[in-house]
Structure 1
Amino acid sequence: MSSDDFWELSNLVARYAELLNLGQIEALGALFEHGRISSSNIADVHVGPAAVTEMYRRSVVFPEKVPDTLLFTSNLQFRIDGDEASGKACFMAVHQAEAGVVPVLAGRYHDEFRKIDGRWWFHHRHMLPDLVGDLSTHLHEPLEGV
């Protein structure tokens, strides 16, 4: 494992959060050119950029002023083996509400990555929401099974 691989994976995870925060879901979807995303509370698996983009378009409320919700990722752990890697991280989303900034969702990511033509990509991101607050102004529909 090189330190370059660690930093490239860290930047990929951070870029995902940045793009979601800014509502740039087409660019976020492009991070899954060779991958898929799933969640412990949803049976569907979204494969490829178009499906990931559409999932976020259907589920997340993006108001005129973005960001109104910020996603933070922490506790990064990576295991790198050649051109494959796995990772774990924690996430928390905070939302601008009338009462101020409030946490609305926290959980974990379990990730698999692949290095293709010298670049790291998401191969599989599995989201595990653990703590759920008031998501009524953040998501179009409530999370199931949480």
Structure 2
Amino acid sequence: MSNEQEILNLIARYTHFLDKGDFDGIGNLFAEGKIISTGSSMEGKEGISKKLTEDLQVYSDGTTRTAHVTTNTVLDIQEGKDQASAVSYLTIYQQDDERDFPLQPIMIGKYHDTFKRKNGKWHFSVREVVITLTGDLSHHAKPEIMKYVENGQQ
């Protein structure tokens, strides 16, 4: 598999795990990395899995009832340094039939990612989530987190 495809697969796996509510899977992707967003930082496998479990709603079907769509990815692979970076657009859609919440976009932003290659395999190093537009996040974040989101603290 090419370096480019391996990195694109990492980016895609993140969204697949998140939409499935598999926070341990995301933790595994960042075993030696961290995720940074406004007012929050998560690091390492256990830290990331724990924080996502604390912050995000998981529904009776085990999913977050979201579709994270990552597009317009621009990669910069620095072969000689075993490093790479990527910038991607992010759009999150959500639907909650149990609570009369029709399909709609709830968040738009960008991922700024850095990657490192170790033992011939690419890994996430840092993912910075930059949110530019938000809709109704009340079905995505847990209620106790929403008070911070509404006050611009998270």
Do the two structures share a fold, i.e. TM-score over 0.5?
Answer: yes
For 2:76, the equivalent position in structure 1 comes to: 79
* RMSD of Structure 2 on Structure 1 (CA): 1.5
| 1:56 partner letter | L
Deviations 1:80-119 (A, max 9, x none): 0021001100111111142521111110010100011111
For normalisation by structure 2, the TM-score amounts to 0.87
Equivalent of 1:55 in 51, 58, 68: 51
The whole-number CA distance in structure 2 between the counterparts of 1:124 and 1:29 is 12
The whole-number CA distance in structure 1 between the counterparts of 2:101 and 2:24 is 31
Cα shift at 1:55: 1.4
For 2:109, the equivalent position in structure 1 comes to: 107
| 1:112 partner letter | T
More helix by share: 2
Equivalent of 2:118 in 103, 116, 119: 116
**Contact 2:57/2:64 (8 A) holds in 1:** no
For 1:94, the equivalent position in structure 2 comes to: 93
Count residues in correspondence: 142
Identical-pair percentage: 27
For normalisation by structure 1, the TM-score amounts to 0.91
Matches within 5 A, 1:34-49: 34-39=32-37, 41-42=38-39, 44-49=40-45
Equivalent of 1:133 in 111, 132, 135: 135
Cα shift at 1:54: 1.1
Which is further off, 58-67 or 16-25?
A: 58-67
Q: Which runs of 4+ in 1 moved over 6 A?
A: none
Unmatched 5+ stretches in structure 2? none
